[in-house]
Amino acid sequence: MALLKALVKIVLGLLGLAVLAVAGLALSLRATIPEDHFDLRAPGPGTDYARPVLIFGATRNTGYEVAKLLRARGQPVTAAVRASSDRSLLEPLGVGFVVADALEPGAVRAALAGAEYSAVISTIGCMRCDPPPDFLGNRNIVDAARVAGVDRMILISTIGAGDSYDAANLLSRFALRDLLPLKTQAEDYLRDSGLEFTIIRPGGLRANDSAPTGAGILTENRTTLGFIHRVDLAELIVAAMDDERSIGKTFAAADTTVLRPWQ
């Protein structure tokens, strides 16, 4: 009987610790949205969108949503894709293609030299790739942009990279423990490149089929932890690309109406 009571006490103790751990994790997943937001300015009437934008990572997710927005306003878009990439979502949009794996420097240089691009956008990243493209691929894109004379680059990173590490929740730090250093390297490399850069760090990303809220914001506050729909993130990416005041800045992206990842 004494042994049974001891076992019950141990089990209850473990359950209590588990409850505390789950509660702590839930608290860490709550968004922290600062009041200071960057006031993005829309381009003026008659803005010329004739020059194309080159997107790495356009076949799905955030890059695809950016391509849709640019094509909707009539701007030419070229997607840099691998030979094996599925182009089925992009083809109906009238997107152009260049075959260029971001991990192959020569192919990336050829892609950037293929047209007079107004900007290059990189949304690439992969948790299961070996090697991951998060630093190596973005380094190749930065180097090729400099050679081709494409001054403007938008890099999509993540909250937890660089000086935003303390803002990331415990789950993100653990899940991205191998990638956060690579994303930090990519950010630093772009900052030191001399390009007209903007770095955007989203937190938790919602699926492409989630309805947009229109409540996405950019902020330079490094304590920001937020969640955002990919369609709303795409709106912010395009708006930042259009606003020259975003050059040289690193932003966190968040949705002011999404306080938990399961909302």
Q: Per residue of the chain (263 residues), give pLDDT as tens.
A: 555 554 555 644 444 333 333 333 444 578 999 999 999 998 888 788 999 999 999 999 999 999 999 999 999 999 999 999 999 999 999 999 999 999 999 999 999 998 999 999 999 999 889 999 999 999 999 999 999 999 999 999 999 999 999 999 999 999 999 999 999 999 999 999 999 999 999 998 866 666 789 999 999 999 999 999 999 999 999 999 999 999 999 999 999 998 877 66
Q: How far apart are CA 213 and CA 158, in angstroms?
A: 20
31-37+49-255: CATH superfamily: NAD(P)-binding Rossmann-like Domain (3.40.50.720)
Q: Say how far apart CA 199 and CA 162 lie, in whole Å.
A: 11
Q: What is the predicted pLDDT for the residue at 22?
A: 36
What's the rounded Cα separation, in Å, for the pair 49 and 119? 11
Cα–Cα distance between 254 and 7 in angstroms, integer? Answer: 46
In angstroms, the CA 105 to CA 70 distance is 26
Residue 150, amino acid: V
Return the H-helix or E-strand segment holding 253. Answer: strand 249-255
Helix (H) / strand (E) element for 188: namely helix 180-191
**How high is the pLDDT of residue 29?**
73
- Put simply, whether the predicted model's pTM sits higher than 0.85 gets the answer yes
Instruction: Evaluate whether 82 touches 99 at the Cβ level (below 8 Å).
Output: yes
- Rounded distance, CA 144 to CA 88, Å? 27
Looking at residue 10, what is its pLDDT?
A: 62
Question: Which pair of structure tokens corresponds to residue 246?
Answer: 């975003």
